[in-house]
Chain A
């Protein structure tokens, strides 16, 4: 019995070299054969008397599954070619334009604050820039709370997400969403659901850059 199935797998392997010329019904018949073969192999694996025999059937099962995957992939590829022809494309230029406008406005507003603070209190750029971050974060938090920021996000796309306002929006919106699940499992556990990766990898990146700076003798 085992020789028979091993042989049929090898025989199919040869046929699969011409997979691209096969029509769909041949491939579907082949998938059905593969499923039936899989069933027999699983039964043989279950009835194996020792590890060696079990290993032998596991190996055949692996080959069987690889062949199934190959045939399925060919069927899928042909289908996916069709999808491309009917799927509408995202309006790239329009989206970029809007992102530039919204992101630019947010950043220009931040720069305005920095300049005003520098002028008013005689601070340098390093000291003045936190004023801009804090102001934008507070304004975004309020706009998120009253349901305005998601409209800005819908219009501006990446332009409203990339500046620090996007970060504030992701934290506040998570807090709003999960307050129903309570202070601990809700807000406590989920507040950084979206912002978490930014915090984690932002910190890791800063450590890495700090190390490079140190090694290059910048200290």
Chain B
């Protein structure tokens, strides 16, 4: 059984390996910074389907099937499938689960869904309730736009703090056994709401939650010197600056260690995305396409993934409510084979 360290850090007893993973990205993302590192880049955001929503579901299915294929597994061998997306009632994930035929938990943590799924998946496996779990999240720019903001073809000028929802999906196979990449600790997030109600500035709304989660982990474990990377999900440029400044002000020297997935997807200058990428798919594709492979460049590497979510809805925005932010932390360790 796992234990708790300090205030609220979970220490898993058994190693939870990330056995394989796969990423599927949209056209614009394919032209971005990580273009060649995705497993599959779709040529058109409709992906041969009749709706954006179906395209999103198909991306998830592809990501999941590619990850399963790499692990030499089939869907029906999975003990659990956990995941979420940004569509109303997380339908993309539920349809993927329908095609998969594994026990399923649909989770909604907005853009923190990947980290949330990883934590709960690891808890299930660490608790001995199974051996294999898949986690998968996705977002689709056009599906999210039409649901949360405006029709896709409407000519609007986006504010500079606005972020671009990533079209993409990432799937990860968790295995209760040994492997090079392992999830060893986790920090469940608390809601932090600093009274921001501007839905075009979600980075600022989530940054406070990210600071809370990161500083909690640092205080619980005192592990800053052992840490190689802190990677937040989708704070974007503005949220990144806020988070960096706050942690530095608290006395943590994170220079050169701290990155944000939202800033790794697009070429800022040419792709007109303002503050960076966002969405459930953002951390899902960047973690798999960039950071996990990057960890293997060292013999031993520790990365704290902090999935950040803005838990608002179009309805609460119109009713003038403020945005509750959340950040879930997952500590991933890489050890070269034989070490």
Q: Residues of A with Cβ closer than 8 Å to B?
A: 32, 35-36, 38-40, 42-43, 45-46, 180-182, 185-186
Q: Choose one: A32, A42, A43, A180; the contact of B319 (CB below 8 Å).
A: A180
Please tell me if the beta carbons of B68 and A39 are within 8 angstroms of each other in the complex.
yes
Q: Choose one: A42, A180, A182; the contact of B65 (CB below 8 Å).
A: A42
Can you list 15 pairs linking A and B with CB atoms under 8 Å apart? Answer: A35-B74, A35-B76, A39-B65, A39-B69, A39-B75, A40-B69, A42-B62, A42-B69, A43-B65, A46-B39, A46-B62, A46-B66, A181-B315, A181-B319, A182-B320
- Residues on A with C-beta less than 8 A from B99 are 35
Identity of the chain B residue whose Cβ is nearest the Cβ of A182 in the assembled complex: B318
Identity of the chain B residue whose Cβ is nearest the Cβ of A185 in the assembled complex: B318
Distance from A10 Cβ to chain B, minimum over Cβ atoms (Å): 22
Pairs A-B, 3 closest by C-beta atoms: A181-B318, A43-B69, A39-B65
- Residues on B with C-beta less than 8 A from A40 are 69
Given contacts A32-B74, A39-B74, could you give 17 more A-B pairs where the C-beta distance is less than 8 Å?
A: A32-B76, A32-B101, A35-B99, A36-B74, A39-B68, A39-B75, A40-B69, A42-B61, A42-B65, A43-B65, A43-B66, A46-B62, A181-B315, A181-B318, A181-B319, A182-B320, A186-B318
Assembled-state Cα–Cα distance A133/B65 (Å): 61
- Residues on A with C-beta less than 8 A from B74 are 32, 35-36, 39
Please tell me if the beta carbons of A46 and B40 are within 8 angstroms of each other in the complex.
yes
Chain B: interface size category: 10 to 19
Assembled-state Cα–Cα distance A36/B62 (Å): 13
Distance from A193 Cβ to chain B, minimum over Cβ atoms (Å): 14
Please tell me if the beta carbons of B318 and A42 are within 8 angstroms of each other in the complex.
no
Distance from A36 Cβ to chain B, minimum over Cβ atoms (Å): 5
Please tell me if the beta carbons of A38 and B65 are within 8 angstroms of each other in the complex.
yes
Distance from B132 Cβ to chain A, minimum over Cβ atoms (Å): 15
Distance from A141 Cβ to chain B, minimum over Cβ atoms (Å): 24
- Residues on B with C-beta less than 8 A from A32 are 74, 76, 101
Distance from B124 Cβ to chain A, minimum over Cβ atoms (Å): 23
Distance from A44 Cβ to chain B, minimum over Cβ atoms (Å): 9
Distance from A96 Cβ to chain B, minimum over Cβ atoms (Å): 36
Q: Which interface residue of B65, B68, B319 has the most chain A CB atoms within 10 A?
A: B65
- Residues on A with C-beta less than 8 A from B65 are 38-39, 42-43
Assembled-state Cα–Cα distance A45/B22 (Å): 14
- Residues on B with C-beta less than 8 A from A181 are 315, 318-319
- Residues on B with C-beta less than 8 A from A46 are 39-40, 62, 66
Q: Which interface residue of B39, B69, B101 has the most chain A CB atoms within 10 A?
A: B69
Assembled-state Cα–Cα distance A40/B66 (Å): 8
Q: Which interface residue of A40, A42, A186 has the most chain B CB atoms within 10 A?
A: A42
Assembled-state Cα–Cα distance A38/B68 (Å): 11
- Residues on A with C-beta less than 8 A from B319 are 180-182
- Residues on B with C-beta less than 8 A from A180 are 319
Assembled-state Cα–Cα distance A45/B66 (Å): 10
- Residues on A with C-beta less than 8 A from B66 are 42-43, 46
B45-82 interface bits toward A, Cβ cutoff 8 Å, 1 = contact, 0 = none: 00000000000000001100110110000111000000
Assembled-state Cα–Cα distance A46/B63 (Å): 10
Identity of the chain B residue whose Cβ is nearest the Cβ of A54 in the assembled complex: B43
Assembled-state Cα–Cα distance A10/B65 (Å): 23
A-facing residues in B15-63 (Cβ within 8 Å): 39-40, 61-62
Distance from B103 Cβ to chain A, minimum over Cβ atoms (Å): 16
Distance from B173 Cβ to chain A, minimum over Cβ atoms (Å): 12
B104-130 interface bits toward A, Cβ cutoff 8 Å, 1 = contact, 0 = none: 000000000000000000000000000
Please tell me if the beta carbons of A35 and B75 are within 8 angstroms of each other in the complex.
yes
Assembled-state Cα–Cα distance A67/B39 (Å): 27
Assembled-state Cα–Cα distance A185/B69 (Å): 47
Assembled-state Cα–Cα distance A46/B64 (Å): 13
Assembled-state Cα–Cα distance A131/B268 (Å): 63
Distance from B108 Cβ to chain A, minimum over Cβ atoms (Å): 22
Identity of the chain A residue whose Cβ is nearest the Cβ of B98 in the assembled complex: A72
A-facing residues in B144-185 (Cβ within 8 Å): none
Distance from B128 Cβ to chain A, minimum over Cβ atoms (Å): 26
- Residues on A with C-beta less than 8 A from B320 are 182
Assembled-state Cα–Cα distance A142/B295 (Å): 68
- Residues on A with C-beta less than 8 A from B100 are 35
Distance from B198 Cβ to chain A, minimum over Cβ atoms (Å): 15
